Structure formats: structure tokens, C-alpha cells
Amino acid sequence: MTTRAIYPGSFDPVTLGHEDLIERSLHLVDQVIVAVAVNAGKDPLFTLEERVRLLDAVMNGEPRVEVVTFDGLLADFAKVRGVHVVIRGLRAVSDFEYESQMALMNRQLYPELETVFLVPALHLTYLSSSLVREIARLDGDVSGCVSPPVEEALRKKYGR
């Protein structure tokens, strides 16, 4: 039986922290569905299509990773895809409150859905997409935070 997990998020843009978690997830399951939320409730820097394209670029044809978009509730998406595992990253204690609330709410909506929290590599724990966007906007060096295609996309986005 093929084991699958959904790794949902905004991915605006995908960082090395996200990539690290996908890699770690592949040690646990056969296939990872990276699910980019259509309505993440934010004003994204990158369009949905751009975020998917960047994820595809950094995944570099990895056959065990599928990049998709989803609209509506994560619980409904997981139900439709017949997936029972959701992966989320926990970087610091500050992540825990929101993440546990979301995990419990998703369980309420879909009792068979289990949220698995993974801790990224220590040297990536300080990373977040929002910090990456801010550093790039202010012309800082993000080469240690994102893969080259994302760095290039950020440069273009900010007209450099």
C-alpha cells in the first residue's frame, strides 16, 4: 500500500525550510502532496501559479512529490484525496498555539485526519517566507534561505 501525506501551506515563496520538511516527509511516506492553498487569507507576493511553478522548479521532477493547489477546507481536500496524514512544520514554541488549534480543528472536521509535526534542520529554524520576502524587498541576500530559482524570482519581482 502506498502511504501518502499532504503538506499544505501558502508557500509564498517556498523556502529551504519547506524543502527540508518535504525531504524529511519522504523518509516517512511514499508520496507527498504539496498543497498550495488558494485562499490562505493573505495578500500574496507571488500568484498561485508562480508559487506552484517555483515549487515544481525546486522539486526538480522528484517523482514522489506532487504539487497541487486546493481551494476551500484542507479537511475536505484530504477527504477527497483519501489522505489521512497532514504534515506541518514546528519551528519554535510560538508556532505551537496556532498549529495545535489548526490540528484539532481539522480533526474535528475529519476525525481520521492525523497531523504530524516535523521539526526542520536547526540551521533553518529561523526561516519564514515572510522574512524572506522582507529581506528580498530591502535588497538583502536570501541565498541562504531559498533555492536559486526562488532567489531569481524574488529579484525579478522586486525589479532587480
Give the alpha-carbon dihedral of 44, 18, 108, 102, to 10 degrees.
Answer: -60
Q: How far is 152 from 158, CA to CA, in rounded Å? A: 10
The answer to whether 129 is a known catalytic residue is yes
Q: Which is nearer to ligand PNS, 96 or 139 (CB)?
A: 96
Q: Which of 24, 53, 64, 91 is catalytic?
A: 91
- Least Å from the CB of residue 145 to ligand PNS: 15
Nearer CB in complex with ligand PNS: 44/149: 44
Q: Are 129 and 12 in contact (CB under 8 A)?
A: yes
CB neighbours of 106 closer than 8 A, spacing ≥ 6? 74, 75, 78, 86, 113, 115
Concerning whether 79 is annotated as a catalytic residue, the answer is no
Catalytic residue list contains 51:
no
Least Å distance, CB 27 to ligand PNS, is 21
Number of H helices, E strands in the chain: 6, 5
Q: Radius of gyration of the chain from Cα atoms?
A: 15
Catalytic residue among 25, 129, 133, 147: 129
- Cβ proximity to ligand PNS: between 9 and 120 the closer is 9
Residue nearest to ligand PNS (CB): 9
Whether 91 is a known active-site residue: answer yes
- 61 versus 98: smaller Cβ distance to ligand PNS: 98
Q: Which residues bind ligand PNS (CB under 6 A)?
A: 8-10, 37, 40, 73-74, 102, 105-106
Which positions are catalytic?
18, 42, 91, 129
